[in-house]
Amino acid sequence: MSRKIQSPAVTVIITGILFGLFVWNTYFGCVPNLYPVTFGKAQWIQSPEASSQAYFRYEFFIPEPVSHAWLKTASADVMILYINGAVVDDKGDIALSGEQTDFRAYNSNIYDIGPYLHPGKNIIGAEVIKILHSGAAQTVIEGAYLDSSGRTCSFFSDSSWKVSSLKETRGKVEWYEEEFGTDSWGYAKTSEQSPETDHLYAKIHPDVFALTMKGKQIGDHNIRTNALMFSHSFEIQDRLRGAWLRIAAEEQYDIAVNDVSAVHHERSEKQVDIYDIRPLLRKGNNTIRVSVRDRESVSPHIAADCIGVRGQGSGVRGKSLDPSALNSSVFLFATDETWQTQSLSQTDGTLAFTRPAVCLSDRVSLPFPKELSMITLPVAYEIKQIFRASACILFILTLTICLWFLSAFMLRRIRGTVSLEDSLTADALFHLPAAIFLGILYLLQYDIRLNISFPFQEKSVLGAVGILLAFRAGALSGQGFGVRGQGSEDSLPFRTAVMLITLMVIIGAGIYLRFRTFINTPSLSHDEISMAIFARSVLKSGYPFKTIGPIRKLLTTYELLPYPIAFSMAVLGNCDLAVRMPAIIFGTLTALLIAFISFRSWGMMCAILSAGIYNFSPFSILWGSNAFHPQQTQFFVLMTAYLFYKAIHSGSEPVRPGYFYAATLCFILSYLSWEGSGMILAGLFACLLVAKGRNPSWLKSGPLWIGLAVAGFTIFAQLIRRNLSNVMYIMVGAGLSGKIFELAFLSPLYNPLFYVQTFLFDGNHLMLTILVLVGLPFIFANTEARYFFIILFVMMLLLTNFFPEISTRYVYFIQPFLILPASAVIIRLIDYIRAFPAPQFRGIKTAKFIFCLMFPVAVFLSTNMQCLRLFRLGNHDLSVSNDIFPFPDYRSPASFIKDRLLPDDAVISLMPHTFEYYTGRQSDYYLQENTLRQIIYDVSESSHGYLDKYVGNKVIRNIEELQEVLNRHRRVWIEAVAYYPFVRLNSGPTLEYLFKNTKLVFETYNGKVYLWEK
């Protein structure tokens, strides 16, 4: 193969592999299916107050024992289900059959609740907590039960359900228990259905829980044996979308489907086990064998059935079924007299004889709890499936290559003036639209709103084939179709104007998304509030400090951070918008800087692409609207890196003084924004070594040593100032104060893959990481791309091994160093495709245009959540994959207390500076028994010993001190925000005393307010 057609051949190979994957998964493979969950008459309900948490309760009466019952639920974010005082699901966002989703998707779950119900009064409780979705906490519930007479009784959520926005406990009686009275509770309010709820799926078909068991209890009383095998043959006419075996057996059993051993189960309790056996079924005749062994009985017996799910026109031979829609279910088989039994010898396992099964009972004694179990496929079977899939893909790939050559020969024969190499090149380029079409479809399987099997349909394969044939037919006919040619030079100003407008639209969209996140966040985080307090001191005294009791503590970290906030507050006033406005501005400036660097390095198209990826990234939207250090640090680090690049790569001098001094200044600004950014020096040094190679002339550069001296002086001066400011007090407990770098790999908690998993392999960054890895040859050949990649690599290495704490916010400042080389790889590929020499067929220009347009669009869509929700792709950390992080709501509890506070009341606050910020009043005490947070011990005589590190309140250290404080006041408010740290900071006896003797009066996300009254 000549060098000229080697690159086009790669396109053919990739297209052939994609065709093979789709053919295998569409016609032969076993792609997991999800099934729509609908709720009939059930309505979405919420609390009338539209609170972020709601506790729903429903009471109903069952006159007789229940034989079968099921329940379907859906909610936004987190839901915990209780029935008759028992916790049915405490995982919040995943249940027995639910698909684990990101918090940005609505969660639907299906439960078997028969074992939880009993004759008489029954209570269903649903705890719904809203975290990332805006609006009120909502849920929808539908259920039904079958009584002993076979009558189906249903219930569903509506305005008759009781609801409260407080998680109440009366004595030791929880709100979801039968003894709890709901006379003071209001009724739920029905709400409109969100568009997101149109995409509710479950891993298992709802009928698997909803339908009663059809199988009869069978055995063989004519023989006395404790080892019996049951077998049955059945036929399937079409491929199934799903098949679940439900089996009830009180003994140990083994299951083999089509001679493949799939299940070995040791019986421990009575229950119905559910197995997904679709991977083992095939079109045509199928067999199932269940071997049962009972050590305590001589009459083994089972009851089983199998529910299959098929599409339009599917059926099981011998059964009359005409499903009207996809996902309809039908019983494939059920245990009855047609099954065969075989006695097994206990000594050697040989078969003794075969005879028809005997029906012992027409129905199973239910309710048994249903448990979804996994089949265990033999390694040999899995290897066989891998070989089959590989053979299918290889066959389709070979067929694609053969058709490529055949089409090229036909094109050469019909268009006689074209050489064979040109024909092969042209036909290879015709594969580009089909390849990008299949690639985008393949990506859609990771969208949480779509079924996993959605892309793998016959029409997808036929569509890709049709696209390829259309281009070939156009070339063979000589007519073709396509886009216009390159155009004249007169169109260049117009294209430039369009690109500039596009870039401005992207920048504007980024500003809008950051403001949207700000609006949907209930309050500032406690770190942001700390910076706002320091900013107020800047406006008051000209430098940042805070007052901790008798101590005036200077800000000795993030020293630069309060100044932009102070300027914003001076202009906009004392409000949350003013606090976050600098972050929004720095985020916008970072996007513009990324666009500028991309434009100067790789052109305008790369500027648009890289700015778009950054502006729409959930990671950048989150921190681009947060007043803490990550966004400001990121901007100055990126500016430092770019100026340093210009300093060592421009002109004949080893280091250009102007750029280098500017880089030094930006480094100082980044270091004073966050000390951890100082590790950028190692990355810049590595880039300097790579750029200068064996030329040591840079060692004689005066500006280089002057800049290093100034940067070093700044670092040491900052460290000395920090140490001197801590002389007057002693810090007790664990914290980050004073820590910058340490040998993290020596820690027993060392996790070398943390940043790889949460940053590089995050779903929104995975495609960028893959592009960087695949494009390494180009990156190392391109000066600019290599420069940013080296910084990325060195920073990842240092963060992993030399940083004391692991958190996703610490890696945020290097995000541009991933976006820039990845964008460069995309543009380099597009330029290569556009410039590739090929015969002047109009269809070729169209094929190139489609690929060059859709490939960057597909990558862009995979990096954000605005269009696609690819939560099944890669890893997902809540602080990386979402543009809204569930910070505690500090504003609402503080405002609630402020409106009801009496002059003699006392306030115990876990975050006293947040209470002071939102109320203008200082709290009185700080409650902490465990030293999980740092507290201050003042060695001077002006205070009372232990003080909290936020405002200097006296620390309550045990239950005796708490009781003393409570008895000293008529009313005491306890602001437990954030609630989960509040629980961890205090002992069980203290919490039990507190909850028993106080009343819960207010609740919000991760925050509660308790009131103690004499």
999: region left, alpha or beta (phi > 0 left; psi from -120 to 50 alpha): beta
Q: What is the pLDDT of residues 461-518, one digit of tens each?
A: 999 999 999 998 888 776 544 444 444 445 678 888 899 999 999 999 999 999 998 9
pLDDT at 351: 53
Q: Which of 686, 685, 691, 679 is nearest to 795 (CA)?
A: 679
Give per-residue burial for 837-865: e unless 16+ CB within 10 Å, then b: ebbebbbbbbbbbbbbebbbebbbbbbbb
Residue indicated by tokens 């990096």: 863
Q: Which residue has the higher pLDDT, 917 or 206?
A: 917
State the chain's mean pLDDT as an integer.
86
Percent of the chain with pLDDT over 90: 54
Three-state secondary structure readout of 671-727? HHHCHHHHHHHHHHHHHHHHHHCCCHHHHHCHHHHHHHHHHHHHHHHHHHHHHHHCC
pLDDT at 378: 86
Averaged pLDDT, 237-255: 86
Q: What is the C-alpha separation between 93 and 104, in angstroms, rounded?
A: 11
Averaged pLDDT, 239-257: 88
Q: Are 412 and 475 in contact (CB under 8 A)?
A: no
Q: Are 72 and 155 in contact (CB under 8 A)?
A: no
pLDDT at 376: 83
Q: Which residues pair with 201 in a beta bridge?
A: 36
Percent of the chain with pLDDT over 70: 90
Q: How confident is the model at residue 699 (pLDDT cuts 50, 70, 90)?
A: confident
Q: Are 252 and 293 in contact (CB under 8 A)?
A: yes
Which stretch of 99-113, 234-248, 687-701 has the lowest confidence by average pLDDT? 99-113
Q: Which of 941, 939, 938, 936 is nearest to 926 (CA)?
A: 936
Tell whether the model's pLDDT for residue 24 goes beyond 50.
Answer: yes
Q: Which residue has the higher pLDDT, 840 or 489?
A: 840
> How do the domains of the chain map onto residue ranges?
3-22+382-477, 35-202, 213-365, 493-520+556-835, 891-1013
By three-state DSSP, how is residue 52 classified?
coil
Q: What is the C-alpha separation between 284 and 235, in angstroms, rounded?
A: 5
Q: Which residue has the higher pLDDT, 984 or 297?
A: 984
Q: What is the pLDDT of residues 373-410, one digit of tens each?
A: 888 888 888 899 999 999 999 999 999 999 999 998 88
Q: What is the pLDDT of residues 414-426, one digit of tens each?
A: 876 778 888 888 8
Tell whether the model's pLDDT for residue 321 goes beyond 50.
Answer: no
By three-state DSSP, how is residue 405 classified?
helix
pLDDT at 367: 58
Q: How confident is the model at residue 106 (pLDDT cuts 50, 70, 90)?
A: low
Main-chain phi, psi angles of 129, to 5 degrees? -125, 125
Helix (H) or strand (E) holding 878: helix 878-881
**Most confident region among 207-216, 286-295, 877-886, 892-901 by mean pLDDT:** 892-901
**E strand intervals along 130-211:** 138-147, 152-156, 162-164, 169-170, 173-174, 186-187, 189-190, 201-202
pLDDT at 366: 54
Averaged pLDDT, 545-562: 89
Q: What is the C-alpha separation between 538 and 547, in angstroms, rounded?
A: 13
- Identify the CATH homologous superfamily for domain 35-202: Galactose-binding domain-like (2.60.120.260)
The domain 213-365 is placed in CATH, from the list 2.40.30.20, 1.10.645.10, 2.60.120.260, 3.40.50.1820, at: 2.60.120.260
Averaged pLDDT, 693-709: 85
Averaged pLDDT, 685-705: 86
Per DSSP, the residues of 480-517 read ------S--GGGHHHHHHHHHHHHHHHHHHHHHHHHHH
Q: How confident is the model at residue 535 (pLDDT cuts 50, 70, 90)?
A: very high
Q: What is the pLDDT of residues 116-132, one digit of tens each?
A: 999 999 999 999 988 76
Q: Which of 833, 999, 903, 918 is nearest to 8 (CA)?
A: 833
Tell whether the model's pLDDT for residue 671 goes beyond 50.
Answer: yes
Q: What is the C-alpha separation between 517 and 70, in angstroms, rounded?
A: 38
Which stretch of 37-46, 326-335, 826-835 has the lowest confidence by average pLDDT? 326-335
Tell whether the model's pLDDT for residue 736 goes beyond 70.
Answer: no
Q: What is the C-alpha separation between 255 and 262, in angstroms, rounded?
A: 6
Q: What is the C-alpha separation between 903 and 906, in angstroms, rounded?
A: 9
| Domain 213-365 in the same topology as domain 35-202 | yes
pTM, entire model: 0.89
pLDDT at 437: 96
pLDDT at 898: 95
Tell whether the model's pLDDT for residue 104 goes beyond 70.
Answer: no
Which stretch of 251-260, 462-471, 757-766, 800-809 has the lowest confidence by average pLDDT? 800-809
Q: How confident is the model at residue 586 (pLDDT cuts 50, 70, 90)?
A: very high
* R_g (Cα) of the chain, nearest Å: 34
Q: What is the pLDDT of residues 853-889, one digit of tens each?
A: 999 999 999 999 888 888 888 888 777 777 777 788 9
Q: What is the C-alpha separation between 45 and 158, in angstroms, rounded?
A: 6
pLDDT at 867: 87
Helix (H) or strand (E) holding 582: helix 576-602
